[in-house]
Structure 1
Amino acid sequence: MYASEEFGAIRVTTHRHGDDLLSAGLGLRGLAGAPAPFAQPAAPTPEELRRRAIQSSWKGIADLGPLGGFGTLYGQVPDVPGREFTTFATLPGAQASHRVLLQVPDAFDRTKRCLVVTASPGTRGIYGSIALAGAWGLPKGCAVAYTDKAAGSGYFDTTDDSGVALDGTRAKAGEVPLEFEPKGATTLGGIAVKHAHSGDNPEADWGRHVLHAVRFGLAMLDRAFPEEAPFTPGNTRIIATGLSNGGGAVLRAAGEDTDGMLAAVVALAPNIHVAGHGRPFFDYATEAAVLLPAALAAGAFDDAPFARVANAQPPAWALRGASLRLHGRLSETLPTAQASEALAMLRASGWRDDAMAVGASSTSLDLWRTVTVAYASAYLRRPVGDMPCGYQYRPQHTGGMARPVDAIVRAAWWADGSGSPPGAGILLTGGTDLSLDPTLPGNLCLRELWTGQGGDARRLREAVAATAAALPRDDLPIFVVHGAQDGLIPVGFSSEPYVTWLRASGRSPVFWKVPYAQHFDAFLAFPDFGDRHAPLLPFGYAALDRAWACVAEGRALPEDAAVRDTRPRGPGPLTASALAVPAT
């Protein structure tokens, strides 16, 4: 039923003796340390790239700092030897592949037959969810199947016609199959990114990507243990879990699992929406990109971390209100009144003050613009060189000119890139003017793609509509875990309306709304920011424990209110008393 021939060429590698599945031999201390080195920086080996990609994925998701409690209060990074099976898989009708990977520990428990399937958060590469799915499943003897859901950092450079091979190294088009090779690209196209330039609307297929990864995982288990085959949903318990976009992907899979493959779903901070309920991400993210810099000048955010970026010249919070008035978006004339007006507009559209205060971090890091640029290009199926609003990804040459160091940066793109430039030696250009608020024109253009009436706006809204969730089967255990102070995917726009919709439709999801938790556990290492918040990952691990107890042991599902006593970490190390993690 799940023949490996469906997936084409499979790369199989073994990982033992200082190069394991969970940390590539780095262990917790190594994961938290300096970037794993390359012996020859311009020509890293597949093993070196894998190690660095795993490290980058851990650092991008988990708080591994000395105050965060990982490895002492929750979580672990044991040595897990085993094998990996990976390939480029393509959904029927899609133009670009999604990378799929199965990790099979040597200690795989053939008696309980557990398969964890996961999708990467954000637009990260294949190991993006290792700190959640891998850290929970591999030490328990589960196999873990990953999908990058047709995103990832397999960047294609049109200037030298090179992309990323299956082993993570760079290769020229035509030499070997590449993770992404854009059609019709010219040398003037800049950097091509799979999520933005594939010609697909990959978000519309998130659920299919996850279910395809399930089939891949089962087929590879047949290959790994032929004497135990076949592995099927009937004899293998399959739990889907993901964070952020990965959380949205597993909930989408829950609604599209017509074959009943999934035994339970655990979604953390999911980017999810339902037609007529909540708000799609592109809607509220483009709104935040325009209005939030002005609103954060209000006195309500005087002590919010990142609300007043000290090195902004001139300060953005003092300029955005005036710029919006010049563009006819605000009517007040005084800066304080402009801030109050922008704040009132955001509140009227459903934003809560705690989400806006935490959203200041996304504002200061320019995340709203970074992510919505790529989404707009994907929704409109734009090729490289023709992104909406004049945007483009370009190589960042050292000192403004090409130098040998550029080859070093490019060689590490697959390991270091987040899948959403800028970063890792890639610039986001275009969408700016010569004013004192240069990014506003591009942000207004992106916002107009949601609110406008032109052809592109209509096509974009149709593409977003194709990403809405469908209703899962009524007996599927679903856990939704979301930070009450999430400032990137506010719970009031995503999980709350989704859970309300499920319950109104006769479903019984478990909803843990975690006080003081926000979207990025990795941000908790920042001074002052981490003092005010609690981590989300320990609640994800606890939800997975309870999901497993439910499907494997018949235990009753827990209640919603189990996390209400969680407190902020405070200025010192995280303590067990601050975490109201439900016991199993």
Structure 2
Amino acid sequence: MFAFPRHSTHRQADDLLTGGLGLDGLRAAAPPAFADPVAPTAAELRRRALWSNWRGIADLAPAGGYGTLYGGMPSVPGREFHALATVPGARHPHRVMVQVPDAFDAARRCVVVTASSGSRGIYGAIAVAGAWGLPRGCAVAYTDKGAGTDYFDLDAGMGTGSDGTVVGPGQAAAFNPLGNASATNPAPAAGSERAGHGVAFKHAHSGDNPEADWGAHVKQAAQFALAQLDEAYPQAAPFTFDNTRVIAVGISNGGGAVLRAAEQGDWLDAVVAGEPNVSVDGVRPLYDIGTEAGLLMPCAVLAVEDRPRSPLSALAQKGGELRCASLAAAGILAGGDVAAQARQAHAQLRASGWTDAAIRAGTLSVDFDLWRAIAATYASSYGRFGVGEHPCGYAWSALNPDFTARAATASERAAWWADGSGIPPGAGIGLVDTKAALPDPTLPGLQCLRALWTGEDAQARRVHAGIAQTRAGLPRAGLPVLVIHGRDDGLLPPAFTSDPYVARAQAAGRDVHYWQVANAQHFDGFLALPDYRARYVPLLPYVYAALDAVMAHLDDPARPLPADALVPARASGPEPLTAAHLAVPR
């Protein structure tokens, strides 16, 4: 089940939680440097991956309260175990890892299992599960759930090895879309080493629709943890689901993954899901709302008074004005000026289920062009389209200043595993839009992506079939589940995700509890932007508090889980965040 196993020891100046960086090192504006930018060591890549994933998930600014008001980063010595695992029927593996702190107590055996948020690499939940579980002496098991940052350079025929370093043609790569040596296909395919151009990545190009297997990915990560604990503590073996407490936690896509794991039989003891990407039958899935938002929201947010500002807001304003004119020209909007067109686009989103709060917070996704990046990747994944097969002509590549594709440099390629987020753009890789055309360059591609949901051709049917495989069922009866979601989430609005999931589970008598947090949006990491900090609170404090609550309940079943709550959180503005602002349920 597990291939390419490896382990490492992390003590003193190289701990499990921060790689020795500590809070000050993680707050540094520049990432940890490589001694040789073309050939970083596995240890350098690991430390940099920790830096990038902490900063991508948590609000680490001094005024945000991390490490003082909630959370912490003690130095946690211990061991790491890595491998590649493959779920039945998959063509490509997912990464699994377990961190075992030296303080692990085999007499009170505890495993926290998690999945990376978004499409991040194997350290993508370090700020969620590692930060809570490791200081408490729990082993923490991770999976990248079939996505991650094992990017593959199609021009050079180079991929990522099990330790994050670059490997060449014929060497075993963690992901190789060309059929070269990999964990699942050890024999190179003759003549395939340089097939295609640009960059391929697992979420878009594996052909496995990994989201359909999220629950299985999480369970395999937990099984890997038990197997490694058997080896690490042979005198206490065997470690099994019956004698080891296993708590699953994740946020965003990771939150959806642990809810899917809750369907996977009687092996989990509790689940905490933050802002989950979870979809139930009869409710609009992410691909539907995302492609709708990609088309309408650039125009619609222009009707939002006092909307949040980012460094890209001025550019997005111009793009939104273009989009309003384009939609009017297409007959989708009828207003004669930008203001009227924006009001109509806003009204269309409201009519389709978007709240005012979600549209306002969705400004961030407009500013950073997230809707297009997400939709292009998910269309490829759901439809199981391979390299060069994207139905809307999208591709990914290093880019010239004029946005034309070019080959990646050796130093760019070397940093992908540590710096990437799992979905480009980012880490020197851009989105190539072959349908781009003036006056509104991104519109034709977005219309094509939307048609894969609204249309009925063969390609649309493939995408629909893939989405149908991702629908969530009910958690196991009696399993304690606590769901946390920000009411202002503009990427995964609770009206389309947590609200219907919780309602359905509770109606079926499942032990599901729900905290709805006022004034919380989707991205704690973006609270570094002053205007977002002035409006929103972080979600991680509530995830940690939920984990505390389920642990207390498991220790003493007479102590009930917290009741459902609408948490009256409020932003701190320019002042430091306090417990009063968070109003965490107790």
The TM-score, its normalising length taken from structure 2, stands at: 0.95
How far did residue 238 of structure 1 move? 0.2
Q: 1:50 to 1:330 in 2, by over 3 A?
A: same
How far did residue 429 of structure 1 move? 0.6
Paired with 2:49 and 2:560, the residues of 1 have a C-alpha distance of 35
Alignment-derived partner of residue 359 in structure 1: 362
Matches within 5 A, 1:344-383: 344-383=347-386
Alignment-derived partner of residue 200 in structure 1: 208
Residue by residue over 1:98-152, the C-alpha shift from the partner in whole angstroms, topping out at 9 and shown as x without a partner, is: 0000000010011210000000000000000000100000000000000000101
Worse-matched range after superposition: 226-235 or 323-332: 323-332
| Letter of the structure 1 residue corresponding to residue 111 of structure 2 | L
| Letter of the structure 2 residue corresponding to residue 118 of structure 1 | T
Q: Does 1:574 align with 2:577?
A: yes
Q: Does 1:292 align with 2:288?
A: no
Q: Does 1:463 align with 2:466?
A: yes
Alignment-derived partner of residue 288 in structure 2: 283
Paired with 1:242 and 1:220, the residues of 2 have a C-alpha distance of 22
How far did residue 403 of structure 1 move? 10
| Letter of the structure 2 residue corresponding to residue 198 of structure 1 | S
Q: 1:294 to 1:397 in 2, by over 3 A?
A: closer
Alignment-derived partner of residue 3 in structure 1: none
CA contact (8 A) 2:215 2:262 kept: yes
Alignment-derived partner of residue 29 in structure 1: 24
| Letter of the structure 2 residue corresponding to residue 418 of structure 1 | S
Paired with 1:114 and 1:138, the residues of 2 have a C-alpha distance of 10
Alignment-derived partner of residue 538 in structure 2: 535
| Letter of the structure 1 residue corresponding to residue 285 of structure 2 | P
Correspondence for 2:223 among 200, 206, 215: 215
Gapped runs of 5+ residues in structure 1?
1-5
Q: Does 1:241 align with 2:249?
A: yes
Q: Does 1:232 align with 2:240?
A: yes
Alignment-derived partner of residue 50 in structure 2: 54
Paired with 2:546 and 2:566, the residues of 1 have a C-alpha distance of 11
Secondary structure of the 1:14 match is: strand
Correspondence for 2:129 among 123, 129, 133: 133
Paired with 2:193 and 2:552, the residues of 1 have a C-alpha distance of 51
CA RMSD of aligned residues (A): 1.9
Alignment-derived partner of residue 153 in structure 1: 149
| Letter of the structure 2 residue corresponding to residue 232 of structure 1 | T
How far did residue 579 of structure 1 move? 1.3
Correspondence for 2:399 among 396, 419, 431: 396
Alignment-derived partner of residue 410 in structure 2: 407
Matches within 5 A, 1:79-228: 79-183=75-179, 186-228=194-236
How far did residue 175 of structure 1 move? 2.1
Q: Does 1:10 align with 2:13?
A: no
Residue by residue over 1:245-290, the C-alpha shift from the partner in whole angstroms, topping out at 9 and shown as x without a partner, is: 00000001101x22x11000000000001111x3211010110000
The TM-score, its normalising length taken from structure 1, stands at: 0.95
How far did residue 436 of structure 1 move? 2.4
Q: 1:43 to 1:308 in 2, by over 3 A?
A: closer
How far did residue 396 of structure 1 move? 2.7
Paired with 1:236 and 1:424, the residues of 2 have a C-alpha distance of 39
Q: 1:355 to 1:409 in 2, by over 3 A?
A: same
Q: 1:401 to 1:476 in 2, by over 3 A?
A: closer
| Letter of the structure 2 residue corresponding to residue 31 of structure 1 | L
Q: 1:563 to 1:347 in 2, by over 3 A?
A: closer
CA contact (8 A) 1:294 1:338 kept: yes
Secondary structure of the 1:388 match is: coil
How far did residue 431 of structure 1 move? 4.5
Paired with 1:314 and 1:508, the residues of 2 have a C-alpha distance of 45
Gapped runs of 5+ residues in structure 2?
180-191
Q: Does 1:565 align with 2:555?
A: no
How far did residue 433 of structure 1 move? 2.8
Secondary structure of the 1:529 match is: helix
CA contact (8 A) 1:528 1:571 kept: no
Correspondence for 1:450 among 446, 450, 453: 453
CA contact (8 A) 1:563 1:582 kept: no
CA contact (8 A) 1:483 1:518 kept: yes
How many residue pairs align between the two structures? 573
Q: Does 1:270 align with 2:276?
A: yes
Secondary structure of the 2:289 match is: helix
